[in-house]
Structure formats: structure tokens, C-alpha cells
Amino acid sequence: MTWLANFGVPAPGSVSHFLGYRLGQDNKVNLQAIPYKGAAPAVQDLLGGQLKAGIVPILDVAPHHLAGKVRVLAVNGSQRAQLLPNVPTLKELGIAGFDTLEWTALLAPAGTPKALVDQLNAATRKVLASPDIQERLLKLGMESNPSTPEDLSQLMAGDLSSWAPVVKASGFTAD
């Protein structure tokens, strides 16, 4: 590792924590997460200059970026965020492997009949296609990206496979 830099994260063990750890490992830079009790205190320290960098949810920092108070350097994901369309993705900056990091899923108990799962999926996709719902989600910093149950299973398996070693290598333990 070449040098040490600190970055704020909303919580220990958060996606932001492990994203920063992996960014450091991939680029041979010793990055140290500074956990906060939520994104708001981390953003306040960014705004106040007590923190030089942070990895926080886009919704918490977008208004400050748009007001010119902080600069968002990149977003994770396979495409640019609708809230900040002028901010490049990590992939666009040449940093691969951060296409899908945070997602929300509708899950059912194991053993739920496939017909019911398919019915729930169809209803969910219909709701998520609504412009009103998409607008409401965007106000929460979320973007609709419905998939099939099979796609979700693949996403979950892929994330477990790629992120479990990162969590383990970081030395993080839940206390």
C-alpha cells in the first residue's frame, strides 16, 4: 500500500465501508473508513471541511453537489444516476467491478409456490413501471430496475461470491 487516506461512511459494515475498502485494495491505496452514525453527520463533516472524502448514499449528497458545496466524483452502478446525470460512473473512470452494489428486493419465504412468486413479480413490475412510483422512488434516491426471480437469484449469488471475500479480507466483524 502506498499511502493512507480516510473516508467517511454512514455506518460500520455498510456498503460504503466495503466499497471504499475494495477501492483501496484494487488500487493499492490504504483507505481507512471512518464510520458515522448515519449519512447526515458524514455529509455535515464533508460540508464543514472536517472530512475530506466520503462514500454516502446519493440522496444525502446530491443537493449539496448541485448547490456546489461538495463535488461528487463518481457513482457506482452500471449507468449514471438520474439524480446526477453529469456525474460519471466508476466504470466510466476506468474502475471496474462496481456495477451493482446496493439493491432492494421483494422476497418471499422459501417454498412459496412458483405460480404465486410469478404473480407477485408481475404485480411488482407493473407497479414499478408507473411513472408516479418511479418519480417517488427517485425522490428517495432509488431507481426502479425490476427483474425476474431468476435474475435476482443470480444477482444475490454473484454479490455473495464477489463481496464475501472483501468483507473477510477487511477484517470487519459485527460486534
What is the per-residue pLDDT for 144? 87
| The pLDDT of residue 139 | 85
Read off the pLDDT band of 101 (50, 70, 90).
low
The model's pTM: 0.81
**Domain boundaries of the chain, sorted by first residue:** 4-101, 103-175
- Residue-level pLDDT at 20: 93
Closest CA to 52 of 15, 6, 14, 2: 6
pLDDT tens-digit series, residues 109-121: 999 999 999 999 9
When the pLDDT of each residue in the chain is averaged and rounded to a whole number, the result is 91
Name the residue among 25, 26, 22, 21 with its Cα closest to residue 6. Answer: 21
pLDDT score at 21: 93
Interval 137-171: pLDDT, tens: 988 888 888 999 999 999 999 989 988 999 999 88
For position 4, what pLDDT does the model report? 74
Higher-pLDDT residue of 103 and 74 is 74
Of 126, 145, 40, 23, nearest in space to 82 by CA: 145
The closest of 60, 74, 56 to 16, measured between CA atoms, is: 56
Span 4-101: which CATH code? 3.40.190.10
Nearest Cα residue to 33 out of 47, 54, 50: 54
> With bands split at pLDDT 50, 70 and 90, how would you rate the model's confidence at 93?
very high
Does the pLDDT of residue 72 top 70, yes or no?
yes
Q: Once rounded to an integer, what is the mean pLDDT over residues 35-60?
A: 95
